[in-house]
Amino acid sequence: MTIGAGAPFLADGISLVPDGLGASCGVDFTSEVLVQAAGVDTLTIGDEYLSLFQNAHHALGNAVFLASGGQLTLSNIGSSGEDGVLVKLKQAHSFDMQWLALGTAADTPSGAFLRLSATGSIAGSPGQQLGFARFDDTGAEILITADFSDIGSSSQFLQVLDGGELVGAFSGHTGPVGTVSEWPNGCGKLGQTGGGTTTKCYVGTWDSAIPISIDGGPTLIGDELRILAEGAVDIDHLDGFALQLSDIPSVTITDETVVFVQGDIPTISEWGLTIMTLLVLTLGTIVYGRRWRSAMV
């Protein structure tokens, strides 16, 4: 790449900002991005991302994005379980996502579920599946399950916390994790362990303390449930986190927190995007839909 009369250099992205307007360019929000070309026979768009909370978001399945007022709403959720959002990370040790309350099992149809999954680097190989956790509406309650077989674990270490204080811990747990009456309003993966590897777990959080019934164990009052894999392989870092839903009409994400390896926050160009557009939204509204999925099948 060459800018003006300067010397050529290597780059994988470019950001164009008018002089005197600062990084925000004085723009409240972006409502449309138009890409035009001349003298080019074919322009193939390989993928699209929406940037919010300093993270790149990719719509999964038939999900539709609506970003407004610093929040991201996922809608057009069907019953396939494939609809949702993938958050692209780069060498992250921990990730946390919060959304508006979804209510209780009575507020969603029986069979509705949300699924948490992540990918990461194992022994220097990125993009490896790191298991999953699910919350399923069974009608009267929400059943919690987890599967860490992808990383060689057949049992879990469960922790229930209330206000950051541990109220119960259960090692060697197998089978269903337990049940709750309310949907979580947050999820994530814990940070780095003392040995320098990323913790092998999924976390569900609630705004206030609720009864959390451990399968085969007691019912405890807490606002956080940690499901940690036992005896699993070491994970170098996270590179993606997915939230997928079924028969939950919409979910509004209000915040995300990422702790990166060595504390560095990657830029959009570091994710390999060849064109970086102003899709960083703090106010206003942008609608992004992927209604063309059927044409790709």
pLDDT tens column, 32-44: 788 888 888 888 8
Q: Is residue 33 part of a domain?
A: no
Inform me whether the pLDDT recorded for 257 exceeds 50.
yes
What is the pTM for the complete model shown? 0.79
* Tally of domains within the chain: 1
Position with higher pLDDT, 278 vs 105 = 105
Inform me whether the pLDDT recorded for 5 exceeds 90.
no
Q: What is the CA radius of gyration of the chain?
A: 21
Q: What are phi and psi of 7, to 5 degrees?
A: -80, 150
Q: Is residue 24 part of a domain?
A: no
Q: Is residue 253 part of a domain?
A: yes
> What are the contacts of 261-267 at 24+ separation with CB within 8 A?
261/91, 261/92, 261/93, 261/237, 262/91, 265/54, 266/90, 266/91, 267/13
CA separation for the pair 248, 234 (Å, rounded): 34
- Among candidate residues 114, 123, 178, the one with its CA nearest the CA of residue 152: 123
Q: Is residue 32 part of a domain?
A: no
Q: Is residue 34 part of a domain?
A: no
- Say what the pLDDT of residue 273 is: 39
- Say what the pLDDT of residue 297 is: 28
Range of the domain at 178: 50-289
Q: Is residue 92 part of a domain?
A: yes
Inform me whether the pLDDT recorded for 208 exceeds 90.
yes
For residue 280, what pLDDT band results from cuts at 50, 70 and 90? very low
Q: Is residue 56 part of a domain?
A: yes
Is the CA virtual torsion 236, 153, 223, 256 positive or negative?
positive
CA separation for the pair 17, 21 (Å, rounded): 8
- Say what the pLDDT of residue 262 is: 67
pLDDT digits (tens, 9 = 90+) for 12-60: 877 777 776 655 555 666 667 888 888 888 888 877 888 899 899 999 9
pLDDT digits (tens, 9 = 90+) for 88-138: 998 898 999 999 999 999 999 999 999 999 999 999 999 999 999 999 999
Length of the chain in terms of residues written: 297
Q: Residue 217: helix, strand or coil by DSSP? A: coil
Please provide the average confidence, as pLDDT, over all residues in the chain.
84
* C-alpha distances in Å from residue 56, one per residue of 214, 270, 271: 35, 11, 8
DSSP 259: E
Q: Is residue 31 part of a domain?
A: no
Angle of CA points 73, 147, 176, to nearest 5°: 95
> What is 208-222 written as a DSSP string?
EEEEEEETTS-EEEE
- Among candidate residues 88, 134, 54, 102, the one with its CA nearest the CA of residue 242: 88
